Chain A
Amino acid sequence: MVARADTAPGNARWRLWALGPLLLLIAVVAAFSAWGDSVTGLLGSNPPPLDQVDVRRVEFKPGEIRIRVTNPQRDDLTVASVTVDNAIVPFTLDGPATLGRLRSSTIVVPYDWVENEPISVGVTSSTGIETVKQIPAAVETPQPSITRATGYAAIGFLVGVVPIALGLLWLPSLRRAAPKWLTAFMALTAGLLTFLAVEALSESLQRQAALPAGLGGAGVVLLGVAISWLGLTAVSHTLSKRGKSGEGALGGLALATLVAIGIGLHNFGEGLAIGTSFALSELALGSFLIVGFMIHNITEGLGIAAPIADGGKASFARLATLTLVAGAPAILGAWLGGFITSDLLAVLFFAAAAGAAFQVVTEVVRYVARKAPGGITSPYVLGGFIAGIAVMYTTGLIAG
């Protein structure tokens, strides 16, 4: 009986039938493209295109401003006139003047800009619509170099790797803590990861909102969240099988690994943000700010240490690996953000960071529910969770 469906002679035909709707759709779309105007014509006249360009990036070189523009709309858009500080300037185009949908060009303006002063650039389309972009301070845009790559790596190391390594040094103290306190610290880990997840989700949504409409809606954020959530679920499944924990809930090193992955994805996003800000001269990242990020991130080390404290031994090499998994992505992120600008990628990365963090939160909560002496509603668990959020918020103020 079961085999009948596979061997039925009509089966192949019905599989072919599945192509029918697609072929018909192609036919209908073709027909609409040919005669669709008469349909939209019934609704009255078509409004003209908005004709606002998307100013993606403004770079400053000695005696020159480079403006990267993208056409965010369906209709073609032609760059006709360019202003700097509301004055018409001569320009050349590195790319076409008439841009198709989502196509880009770079406008090159010879201009003696004034360092550290605000400046605005305007791009006027052939229909006279001017899009103005304000730059808070004109600063020479750094060019890619070994020195800069090293600089980004150093910053990534300082804000990512160092604080996590320091946080892991709490491990011996945590090992000697009473079980109720240990679960309190585990709850704290869950709290701080929840905080990071919300932060990353908000960042992702904000960046998505700033994307041109042609690059899709908020659904792309869900795509990033879902991919990383499900990916990490698969990882946790594999780890739990290997760890033979039997109950399907992770503990010890395996859980710490998961936490490290979640934090690593977040730090990748953090590095990306720092690198992009440097590249776009939007952030004067002083040493104070780096100190802020370091204090902010030391809690992340604590979050990785807590599950290990409960789960037996961990070699130095294993701890070092965890540190790199959680911290080193900040370096990669800083490189990517510093040298490549893709806003869509940034949206996806932050969404992935949010999805990963949320997934790890569920794992940690399951662990706490299993291990906590007073159950999941004990004051230690609740207090630890709130403390995790509060600590992240407070130290975040220093970095912000």
Chain B
Amino acid sequence: MKFRLLSDSDLVAPKKLTRKGLIAGAAPLLVAGPLAKLALADNPAEHDHLQLASHTGNGQAAHGHAAMIGEQAPAVGGPRDLDALLYPPKPLPYRRGRVREYTLTAVDTEIEVAPGVIFPAWTYNGTVPGPVIRATEGDLLRVHFFNGGSHPHTIHFHGIHPANMDGVFEIVPSGGHFTYEFEARPAGLQLYHCHSTPLKKHIHKGLYGAFIIDPKDARPPAQELVMVMNGYDTDGDGSNNFYTVNGRSFYYAKYPITVRRSQLVRVYLANLTEFDLINSLHLHGGFFRHQATGTGDHWEYTDTVMQCQGQRGVIEIEFANTGHFMFHAHQSEFAELGWMGFFNVVD
């Protein structure tokens, strides 16, 4: 299904741009938003592949933030590319003495972080962020680590574990191997990342991922999503050129995440942004509960959370309305450099 979003060239373009002119130019966009929603609601089958074509058809798109949805969003790849990072493995109910095994291999991989922009990354299993590791509290976690990269690496897990499993002293040389083994605790959203020095380089290059430990008393069933916030400094000047969730800028603007209004949505949100350390998530058109680190009894009711590098939390949302709801870093700069996406809430 194609429909057009009004662009301000539909108006008689004011000869000189003034503030007044801009406001006048924006008016059709304000109207176009709800129209777009209505049009979409007519045809639920098309929700996954949103196409917002501009009428001129030559890239003269409606300008700005609001227009960066569907094909207008400059994102890499196809609609299901990041499913393995977005949808975590299913939680398993607590069972005494269970062993959970994962294999992580560090590899030097060139990844495309924005259309045509190649970043020479260091990855766990070829993606940035690395795969989602999940265990239930009390499981014995066994992670086989192979270093296929060109530099020495480790895996440092957040959580409670012995000193020799901390991934700080046991540096794994290129071509080396190490097995991390410890009991998964405490319940919450943990992290893992490389702890070789220079630390900033090893983290920024992409060696990190989400590590979910489910509580013994299982959380209520929900549609679960993982969002790891990060950034890429592609020109080495110490500040990021692109910001993303799950590794590709504007990916969820191009491919909105479809969720059901009737179902609880749980987002495991972590911040592994290097250089600009504070990141955030703001949800449009809704409020959610946020549990810092996914531990403890304190839930904040809000629409914006802020995390420093290494902080994380669990978010639970019940959407009140259907339609497209934006989510993005509430650092406008980050949002406009790629950390912006949409939920497509359907019945």
Contact = CB atoms under 8 A, between A and B. Distances in A.
A81 B232 CA distance: 14
A380 B199 CA distance: 73
A127 B17 contact: no
A86 B235 contact: no
A90 B74 contact: yes
A130 B113 CA distance: 14
A86 B336 contact: yes
Contact of A124 (B17, B22, B59, B241): B241
A97 B59 CA distance: 15
A110 B60 CA distance: 6
A127 B234 contact: yes
Given A110-B63, A112-B8, A130 B116 contact: no
Nearest to B239: A86
B72 A128 contact: no
A92 B64 contact: no
B118 A88 contact: no
Interface in A9-39: none
B235 A130 contact: yes
Contacts of B13: 62-63
Interface string A74-98: 0000111101001110111000010
Contacts of A282: none
B190 interface: no
B17 A81 contact: no
A167 to B, nearest CB: 40
B219 interface: no
Contacts of B17: 62-63, 112-115, 140
A98 to B, nearest CB: 10
Given A80-B115, A81-B74, A90 B337 contact: no
B61 interface: yes
Contact of A63 (B8, B19, B58, B67): B8
Interface range on chain B: under 10, 10 to 19, 20 to 34, or 35 or more? 35 or more
Interface in B62-103: 63-64, 67-68, 72, 74
Nearest to B117: A80
A128 B232 contact: yes
Contacts, number: 97
B333 A92 contact: no
B22 A130 contact: no
Contact of A92 (B14, B18, B59, B119): B59
B116 A80 contact: yes
A128 B118 contact: yes
A86 B333 contact: yes
Contacts of A80: 114-117
Interface of A is mostly: loop
Interface string B237-273: 1000110000001100000000000000000000000
Given A97-B116, A112-B22, A130 B249 contact: no
Chain A CB count within 10 A is highest, among B7, B16, B234, for B234
Contacts of A90: 59, 61, 67-68, 72, 74
Contacts of A115: 16-18
A112 B336 contact: no
B191 to A, nearest CB: 25
Contacts of A79: 116
A111 interface: yes
Contacts of A87: 333, 336-337
B138 interface: no
A124 B113 CA distance: 12
Contacts of B63: 63, 110-112
A180 B337 CA distance: 72
Given A91-B59, A127-B118, A86 B337 contact: yes
A398 interface: no
Interface of B: 7-9, 13-19, 22, 25, 58-61, 63-64, 67-68, 72, 74, 113-119, 232, 234-235, 237, 241-242, 249-250, 333, 336-338
Interface of A: 62-63, 78-81, 83, 86-88, 90-92, 97, 108, 110-115, 124-130, 140
Top 10 closest A-B pairs, CB basis?
A: A128-B234, A87-B336, A80-B116, A92-B59, A129-B235, A80-B117, A130-B235, A126-B116, A81-B114, A128-B117
Given A128-B235, A129-B234, 11 more contacts: A62-B14, A63-B25, A81-B115, A88-B242, A88-B338, A90-B72, A111-B63, A124-B241, A127-B118, A128-B232, A130-B237
10 contacts: A62-B14, A80-B115, A81-B74, A88-B338, A90-B74, A110-B59, A124-B235, A126-B117, A128-B232, A129-B234
